[in-house]
Amino acid sequence: MALTKEKLISRLQTQVGLSKVDSRAVMEEVLKIIKETLASGEDLLISGFGKFSVRHKNARRGRNPQTKENLILRERKVVVFKTSGVLRNRINQVS
């Protein structure tokens, strides 16, 4: 069972005591701020969780593994995520 946006919204309701409407609004606003920050090329560092950064990729020759067609991948910007040490340790903890 995946954690979805809907579930996060209902957790905000119970944990922070916001109405359903307000929970949804703040959830959407947080995502909007994060997306606009990354779109502007700025990184986002959430201590205890991880860091989202924008990385520039140079153009390179690639190949479609299905059709075996050669193609050129143009230069582009991508988002990468690096897990914080704290969260990595929590995930790897033997319980």
Partner 1 sequence: MNKSQLIEALAKQENLTLKKAELVVNALFENMAEALVRKERIEIRGFGSFKVKHYNGYKGRNPKTGDIIEVGGKKLPFFKVGKDLREMVDREKE
AA identity, residue 34:
I
**Of 2, 4, 31, 26, which Cα lies nearest the Cα of 13?**
26
When binding is defined by CB under 8 A, the residue of 19, 21, 45, 59 that contacts partner 1 is 45
Query: Does 80 engage in binding with partner 1 (CB under 8 A)?
Result: yes
- CA–CA distance, 47 with 80 (Å, rounded to integer): 16
Query: Which of 11, 20 has the CB closer to partner 1?
Result: 11
Least distance (Å) between residue 10 CB and partner 1 = 10
What is the distance between the alpha carbons of residues 5 and 24, in angstroms, rounded to a whole number?
A: 9
Nearer to partner 1 among residue 63 and residue 90 (C-beta): 90
Query: Given the structure tokens 């910007």, which residue do they identify?
Result: 77
C-alpha 3/C-alpha 7 separation (Å) is 6
Taking the complex as a whole, how short is the minimal distance between the CB of residue 94 and partner 1, in angstroms?
Answer: 11
Residues that bind partner 1 (CB under 8 A): 1-5, 8, 11-12, 15-16, 18, 25-27, 29-31, 33-39, 42-50, 52, 54, 76-81, 83, 87-88, 90-93
